[in-house]
Chains A and B, each alone.
Chain A
Amino acid sequence: EAQVTQNPRYLITVTGKKLTVTCSQNMNHEYMSWYRQDPGLGLRQIYYSMNVEVTDKGDVPEGYKVSRKEKRNFPLILESPSPNQTSLYFCASSRGTDTQYFGPGTRLTVL
């Protein structure tokens, strides 16, 4: 089954404790992206990757890092999480920047 998976689905952590949210897709897509979703603000792009070892900032990259060492994986790293990063995070993949397929989401709470 073609899908985008994210782990964990739910995470509660404390300020400053490094964390990684994993994202994996099995569709051999070149393009992957991370979004955060906040009430009233819709989906905002954090980072995207056009292919292996090619990443670039989206609209709200501050406080986040990503890497793309393999085509199927695109982890999101929060080196020092802060409460304003409490949000619902989605990973997405696509063949180009057309239709994106989204993962189920990761709900992160930073205390």
Chain B
Amino acid sequence: GESVGLHLPTLSVQEGDNSIINCAYSNSASDYFIWYKQESGKGPQFIIDIRSNMDKRQGQRVTVLLNKTVKHLSLQIAATQPGDSAVYFCAERRFSSGSARQLTFGSGTQLTVLP
């Protein structure tokens, strides 16, 4: 079946370095993608989103890149800080078997920032 997946379950980076978290999706009909951050003991928190008619979107210290040719999504975090340590999820919006479009989440990547 179709699913959103992540290339790596864990990622460790040095404080101050840039982080890149990757995500693959398989449904070419998906029109909207979101990155969420989930800290231990908390609910997912919105980071940044991108629509399928865009290739790149920037936020504060974060950039999302969308490559529709290879169905790949990435989240780049600049100057990674200890507070960035968390699990990061990508999610895609696609039509479900019902008529409403829903979000489907990947299994997450654990980012650990090393001092």
Residues of B within 8 A of A92 (CB): 43
Q: Report the nearest B residue to A50, measured CB to CB.
A: B100
Q: Report the nearest B residue to A59, measured CB to CB.
A: B104
Residue A102 lies at the interface, judged by CB distance under 8 Å to chain B: yes
Residues of B within 8 A of A62 (CB): none
Residue B103 lies at the interface, judged by CB distance under 8 Å to chain A: yes
Q: How far is the CA of A44 from the CA of B98 in the complex (A)?
A: 16
Contact B43 A97 (CB under 8 A): no
Q: Report the nearest B residue to A31, measured CB to CB.
A: B100
Residues of A within 8 A of B105 (CB): 35, 42-44
Chain A contact residue count (CB 8 A cutoff): 26
Contact B49 A99 (CB under 8 A): yes
Residue B102 lies at the interface, judged by CB distance under 8 Å to chain A: yes
Residues of A within 8 A of B36 (CB): 102
Q: How far is the CA of A9 from the CA of B60 in the complex (A)?
A: 31
Residues on B close to A: CB < 8 A? 32, 34, 36, 41-46, 49, 89, 91, 93, 96, 98, 100-108
Q: How far is the CA of A103 from the CA of B38 in the complex (A)?
A: 12
Q: How far is the CA of A97 from the CA of B41 in the complex (A)?
A: 24
Residues on A close to B: CB < 8 A? 4, 33, 35, 40-45, 48, 50, 56-59, 90, 92, 97-105
Contact A45 B103 (CB under 8 A): yes
Give the interface SS of chain A, mostly helix, strand, loop or mixed.
Answer: strand
Contact A43 B89 (CB under 8 A): yes
Contact A97 B44 (CB under 8 A): no
With A42-B89, A104-B43 as known contacts, state yes or no: A97 contacts B106, CB within 8 Å.
Answer: no
Contact A98 B100 (CB under 8 A): no
| Residue in B34, B43, B93, B102 whose beta carbon sits within 8 Å of that of A103 in the complex | B43
Q: Report the nearest B residue to A44, measured CB to CB.
A: B105
List 9 contacting pairs A-B, 8 Å CB cutoff, sorted by A: A33-B102, A41-B107, A42-B106, A43-B44, A45-B102, A48-B102, A59-B104, A102-B43, A105-B42
Residues of B within 8 A of A58 (CB): 96, 102
